[in-house]
Amino acid sequence: MIDVDRLRKDFPALSPRHGGPPPVYLDSACMSLVPQAVLEALGEYYTDYPGCAGRSLHRFAEEVGHRYESARESFARFLGSPAPDGIVFLRNATEAINLVGQGLDWKPGDRVLVTDQEHNSNLVVWQRLAAERGIQLTHLRLPSDGTFDGEALDRELDRGVRLVSFFQTSNLDGRSLPVREIVERAHRKGAEVLIDGCQAAPHQPVDLARLGVDFYALSLHKMLGPTGTGLLAGRPERLSRLSPLVVGGETVEWTTLTEHRLRPPPHRFEAGLQNYGGVLGAVAGLRYLQQVGLDEVEAHDRSVNARATKALADEPRVTLLGPPDPAHRPSIYSFTLDGVDPSDAALFLDEGYRVMVRSGMHCVHSWYRERSLPGSIRASFYLYTSTTDIDAFVTGVTELLGRIPPTESRPRPLTPVSRPEPAPKTQGRAP
């Protein structure tokens, strides 16, 4: 069991401010807080060995080069990746998904399958490729109760799919998909699989070798790392088929005035001077997370989520999104309040109770628009979330509802609303 009171002392952002109580941070699905060890690792790079890896031969360069490649090995072990050279350091999962999307050799008519609940980062790139390269984008609708229909997936795969690109855990409602089953079904039909692991890897053990995924995208700023750090994990033979998003320094073995030869993965994808301090800070965050233990983190998430869920379960004006059982969405409690705009609710909680949650459409605009919802409120939990945090959150929501007169009860449109098909595109400039 996590000793939250002791652990919270390692996070400077949770210190009391101006003589008042400590802040209540319930927005870890967007960005986790960082422990002191990460701040120290960042400072150590800039003060002790601020060199360029793989270029100069002096001691600063040699030291950072060794630590940078060691970081690759650390994340490979953490993810159960087959080899360190299957780890590409990038800015975030968005860049990782774009690297796969833009890097594959698409042919017109190639089909990509996503769910109807994907983050914009795993939707917009495919929409763009549909317009620019003629791929076909199709959607698998997920049941609202959090279950998964494998036969529905098979029906889509039978239509011919080149790439399945799904989240592992949803940032909207916290549900998780059965990745190994999805991979097995996809591979039987000849499709490759890209998984967005942003909301999963920080909270539960991940073994890519067991799951069998072809590509795995991850933002390290959601797992105690600094901003601007992420990675793409993939089998080296899969990565070697991708074209780089950016080329230049460190991506090539040699050049002439007319041609060049790319280095093998992962270096061909890491153009220019890298975020060495950020990556080494992310490794410090990884070590901290491993010391706590991901099994302990997952159990703690379930515990605090169960406390919030139980406290608000009998409030008729609270509509929960996703699976009703908090064990099936341990890191996220996403909901709407009847008669209250989500942004107003978030501001009330912040200003009145120092409770920080996220409001809006959570970069899943398509899901909300299909249901005519203006957004939702999302409280997200992590290893430093305390029962005191949960109680402050519940008290704030309850007081807010007490101040707002109930509106006439009406059903929430949580199923897609049928919309007319868009008009066909015409040639020429729009008027």
Active site residues: 363
Q: Give me the residues paired with residue 333 across strands.
A: 379
Reported as type and span, the H/E element at residue 59 is: helix 59-79
Query: CA-CA-CA-CA torsion for 202, 292, 322, 145, nearest 10 degrees?
Result: 100
Two tokens at 197? 């692991």
Two tokens at 86? 């299957």
- The 10 Å Cβ neighbour count of residue 246 is 12
- The 10 Å Cβ neighbour count of residue 131 is 11
The owner of tokens 């690109």 is: 165
Rg over CA atoms, the chain: 23
C-alpha 404/C-alpha 216 separation (Å) is 44
C-alpha 75/C-alpha 77 separation (Å) is 5
Two tokens at 77? 């072990």
Q: Which CA distances in Å does 312 have to 108, 317, 385, 393, 401?
A: 50, 9, 18, 10, 11
- Output the CA angle 338-343-348, nearest 5 degrees: 85
The owner of tokens 């950072």 is: 64
Greatest Cα pair distance in the chain:
73
342, HSE (Cβ side, Cα atoms, 13 Å) = 18
The owner of tokens 């000793």 is: 3
DSSP state string for 250-305: TSEEEE-SS-EEEPPTTGGG--SS--HHHHHHHHHHHHHHHHH-HHHHHHHHHHHH
Tell which residue, 196, 185, 259, has the closest CA to residue 230. 196
